[in-house]
Amino acid sequence: MNRRALLAAYGAALSAGCSGWSPLGGPVGSGCDIADEVPGDTEWGSARGDTHNTASTPADRTPAPPLSTSWTFSIPGVTGMPTPTVVEDTVFTTDMDTTVFAIDAESGDQRWQTAVDGPESAVVVVDGTAVVTSDEGVVSLDAADGSERWRTEIPPTYNTSPLVAEGAVYVPSDLSLVALDTDTGEERWRYTTGLETEAPPAVADGTVFFGDGDAYVYALDAVDGSERWRFKTRGSVECPPAIVGETVYAGSNDGRVYAIDAATGERRWSHETDGRIEALAVGHGSVYAGTDQRLHAVRRSSGERCWRSDRYVSQYTGGPAVGGGYVYASTGRSGGDTDLRETAVGAFDAATGELVWRFGPAENRQVDLGPAIANGALFAAGGGAGNLEVARLDPK
């Protein structure tokens, strides 16, 4: 099956609840105190929010549910959509087929569109540069008008996103992580592991952190790609790591979330969940981990469990997003088996794990992918019969 056909069939069914699980899909656990700390940026410039992959944003940029639709932007097609990115009042997305779009974040009007053969990733935007991976390699566009700046033929790993940070574009490419010059697209360095590198890295203070199919989490020098340390898990690492302060958080297919000292690579704690870790978000003093079955909240300081919920729905793109005391994510109607035709974006109470709000599905539309938090609103993707769409949701 080719990439576009596979994208059209994204999603995976969830398994039934485990022993001791609430039959109504309620959370399990004593909950967590909510800390004011939200490490993310005010803009959502990458697939996981910022260059640290925290998927979080400050409270004054986060809407409080219930939310309603302010506008929708429709795109003909059924292939798929990535998590939207939102920078300087512009929303960026693709149809994962032929086109990259820029949309006015306030009005929902199109600003520009640019033809790109087979765009596969979220559009990553930093300092006026928009970067997307495609069937052709890596493409850099001017974020203001969509004009092409450069392109390379470096093949990206399937279903991954680049990261732009500290003057470089970092691209998972087959068995390597490749650093390109942001201005020219020329290769700066390449670090090869021997097994597939799937997830985008996190970058902080001159260090690049990434996970790999060989079960290691790596820390590299951002200037020359030399290795600083490596940390061994017990499964492949397909989840983007997140960095907050002096700690790297990584999720492995061994079902564990790891807290790793960013300077030394030593383990601080690990927390065992019920399945492979697909996405992380960090905020309010907790780490939120989405598996292929449930959403887990653990204390950032110790790794102790706060709560877990089976109302979370694993999706082909996206993951949890944190801010304002809420965790926004794709949700199902009830616990246990989930009908993916009835999934919708929803809000969990970050302290207790209670699902306090769901959107739709309504009017033959399904808004369930993403989400991104910016400008005091929630931006999510989805679609209906023969159409894809981006929606802006604001407090009622």
Count of residues for the chain? 396
Q: What is the pLDDT of residues 45-67, one digit of tens each?
A: 999 999 999 999 999 899 999 99
Q: What is the pLDDT of residues 109-129, one digit of tens each?
A: 999 999 999 998 999 999 999
Of 281, 289, 329, 286, the closest CA to residue 50 belongs to 281
Is 188 part of any domain? no
Separation of alpha carbons 114 and 112, rounded Å: 7
Of 211, 276, 273, the closest CA to residue 241 belongs to 211
What does the pLDDT read at residue 318?
Answer: 84
Separation of alpha carbons 237 and 199, rounded Å: 8
Is 391 part of any domain? yes
Q: Does residue 228 have a pLDDT over 50?
A: yes
Inter-residue contact 328 to 320 (CB < 8 Å)? yes
CA 287, distance to chain mean position in Å, is: 14
Q: Does residue 336 have a pLDDT over 80?
A: no
Is 381 part of any domain? yes
127, burial (CB in 10 Å: exposed 0-12, middle 13-18, buried 19+):
exposed
**What backbone torsions phi and psi does residue 75 show, to the nearest 5 degrees?**
-130, 125
The most distant pair of C-alpha atoms in the chain lies apart, rounded to whole Å, by 55
If one counts every other C-beta atom within 10 angstroms of the C-beta of residue 364, the result is: 10
Tally the domains of the chain. 1
Separation of alpha carbons 201 and 171, rounded Å: 8
Q: What is the pLDDT of residues 128-168, one digit of tens each?
A: 999 999 988 999 999 999 999 999 999 898 878 999 999 99
Sign, CA dihedral 340-27-290-206, equals positive
Is 366 part of any domain? yes
Is 229 part of any domain? yes
Inter-residue contact 27 to 331 (CB < 8 Å)? no
Which DSSP string corresponds to 64-104?
Answer: -SSEEEEEEEEEE-SS-----EEETTEEEEE-SSSEEEEEE
Cross-strand partners of 358 = 346
Separation of alpha carbons 378 and 375, rounded Å: 8
Q: Does residue 12 have a pLDDT over 50?
A: no
Cα-Cα-Cα-Cα torsion 161, 165, 171, 177, nearest 10 degrees, comes to -130
Q: What is the pLDDT of residues 177-212, one digit of tens each?
A: 999 999 999 999 999 998 999 999 999 999 999 999
Separation of alpha carbons 286 and 1, rounded Å: 39
Full-model pTM? 0.91
Is 63 part of any domain? yes
CATH classification of the domain holding 345: 2.130.10
The residue ranking higher by pLDDT, 340 or 396, is 396
- Enclosing domain of residue 388: 3-123+218-395
Is 166 part of any domain? no
Is 155 part of any domain? no
